[in-house]
Amino acid sequence: MKADPKGVLTGSHNLSGNQACAEGALAAGCRFLGLYPIMPALEVSERFLERAPRVGATFIQMEDEISALAAVLGASWTGKRSMTVTSGPGLSLMMEHLGLGVMLETPCVIIDIQSVGPGLGLPTRAAQGDIMQSRWGSHGDYEIVVFAPSSPQEMFDYVIKAFNLSERYRIPVAVMSDAYLARLQENVVIPPAEEIDIEPRRYFKGETDKYLPFKRDKDFVPPMVKIGDGYRFHVTGLTHDDRGYPIMNEECQEYNVHPLVKKIRDYTDEIIEVQETGIDDAEVVIISYGTTARAALKAMEQARSAGIKVGSLKLATVWPFPEKRIFELAKKVKAFIVPEMNFGQLVFEVERCSIGKANVLFISHGEKGVENIDDILSAIRQTQQMNEVKKCIIELKKGV
C-alpha cells in the first residue's frame, strides 16, 4: 500500500528533528495524536496540530500521560493509526499502558524525546537514559521494537517504519529521539506519496460471528477488526484465550504470553536494521545509536585517516538487539567502543554479546554531549594498546 497523499508534504524542507517526526507520522498515515505537553517534545505536537486540520487528523490533549496513551490505544481500535509523544517523565507514566498495548496487541507509536534523568533531571539537555526503560519498563514479559534516529531525515524515515512495524506485528513501537535531535535543523527530503510504502493493517475479512480477536496467524500475529463493524468482540488485559476471554491458569499464560515474545524473537531478522560502515577490515568497531552515532561516524573517519582500522555499527533498531551480528563481529574484532549519553545501559548488552572475545570500552556522558569525538578518539587509541581481552567493561576515564 502507498501513503495517503494528503499527509505527505513532498519536497525538500529544512526541518528540526521534532518537526520531521510530525511529518513522518502524518506521511505514515497517523490520524490521531493523544498528547500531554512536556519539554522537549512540544514541537512535535505543535507541528502535528498545525497540520492536522488540513490533513484531517484528530488530536486530544489529555490530562496526563497515562490517559494520553490510554486514548491512543482506544483510538487505534477505531482503525486510526495513532501515536503519542512524550519525554522521560511522561514515558515513566506510560509504562502501565505500554503493557496494555502489548497485551491487547494494539498497534501504536510512542515517540520519546529523551532528556537527562532520573526524576525531573534536566529537561533541555539530551541524553539516552531511557533506552533500557523502553525495553524493560513495563511489568511482565514482552518484546518491543525501538528505533533510534540520528538525524531529522532518519526521524522522518524511522517514524514511518515504526508505524509499519507496529501494524505488521501488532505491537506498540517506540522511537527514541533526544533533546538534541529535537532541535537539530537539517534538510529533510520527503518523497512523493507513491514512493512511501505503508503496511496496511491486517483486517479480519470473515463473517462477524466467526471472529476470534486473538486467533493467531502462522506468524503469531492475529488479524484485527475495527470498533463499530459489528464484530462485537471482547479484549482484555487479563491473560486470555483466542476469544479474548480471561482464563487464569498457567497453560493459558503460556498460550497467551509466549507468542507475544515469540512474534518478535522469531522474526528479529526481518525487524533488525543496522547500518555498517567500514566493518570488513575493522579491528575496532564503534557501536552507537541515535545522535551519538553522529559523533561516532566522524570519529571513525578521523581515525581511518590516521590509519586505524575502525568500523561503525549503527543501530537503527535498538530493540530487538542485534545479538547475532555482534556475536559474529566479536570473533573478528579486537574491541567494541560504545559511546552512550548515559552511565551504562546498552553497553551491558554489548558486553553480553562480546562473549569474552572482544574488549568492550564504554564512554559515558561526554562533557560536550553528542559531540564527544575526542572521547571516542581517545578510546580508539586506548584499544591500540590492548593485548588481552578483559572480562569486564572498560570505562573510559575522562577529566571530569
Residue 386 is placed in which grid cell?
590492548
Minimum gap (Å) between residue 165 Cβ and other proteins: 19
DSSP tag of 203: B
In the region spanning residues 102 to 131, those forming contacts with other proteins, defined by CB under 8 A, are 102-104, 114, 116-125, 127, 129-130
Strands 108-116 and 81-87: parallel
Burial 357-369 (b: 16+ CB within 10 A, else e): ebbbbbbbbbeeb
Nearer to other proteins, 85 or 297 (CB): 85
In the region spanning residues 46 to 105, those forming contacts with other proteins, defined by CB under 8 A, are 46, 53-54, 58, 60-64, 66-68, 70-80, 82, 88-89, 91-93, 95-100, 102-104
Q: Binding of other proteins at residue 231 (CB under 8 A)?
A: yes
Nearer to other proteins, 90 or 311 (CB): 90
DSSP 47-109: HHHHHHHHHT-EEEE-SSHHHHHHHHHHHHHTT-EEEEEEEHHHHHHHHHHHHHHHHTT--EE
Main-chain dihedrals φ then ψ at residue 313, nearest 5 degrees: -120, 110
Residue in 164, 177, 342, 383 binding other proteins, rule: CB under 8 A: 342
In the region spanning residues 135 to 174, those forming contacts with other proteins, defined by CB under 8 A, are 135-142
In the region spanning residues 355 to 374, those forming contacts with other proteins, defined by CB under 8 A, are 355-357, 364-365, 367, 369
Residue 364 is placed in which grid cell?
559515558
Nearer to other proteins, 68 or 379 (CB): 68
Nearer to other proteins, 140 or 200 (CB): 140
**Which residue bears the cell 529537561?**
123
Size of the site for other proteins (CB under 8 A): 125
Q: Binding of other proteins at residue 182 (CB under 8 A)?
A: no
Residue 66 is placed in which grid cell?
497515562
Strands 335-339 and 284-289: parallel
Nearer to other proteins, 255 or 301 (CB): 255
Q: Binding of other proteins at residue 275 (CB under 8 A)?
A: no
Q: Binding of other proteins at residue 22 (CB under 8 A)?
A: no
Residue type, 267: Y
Decide: 21 and 191 in contact? Cβ < 8 Å.
no
Residue 152 is placed in which grid cell?
531529522
Q: Binding of other proteins at residue 386 (CB under 8 A)?
A: no
Minimum gap (Å) between residue 44 Cβ and other proteins: 12
* Among 240-248, 278-286, 295-303, 377-385, the segment contacting other proteins (CB under 8 A): 240-248
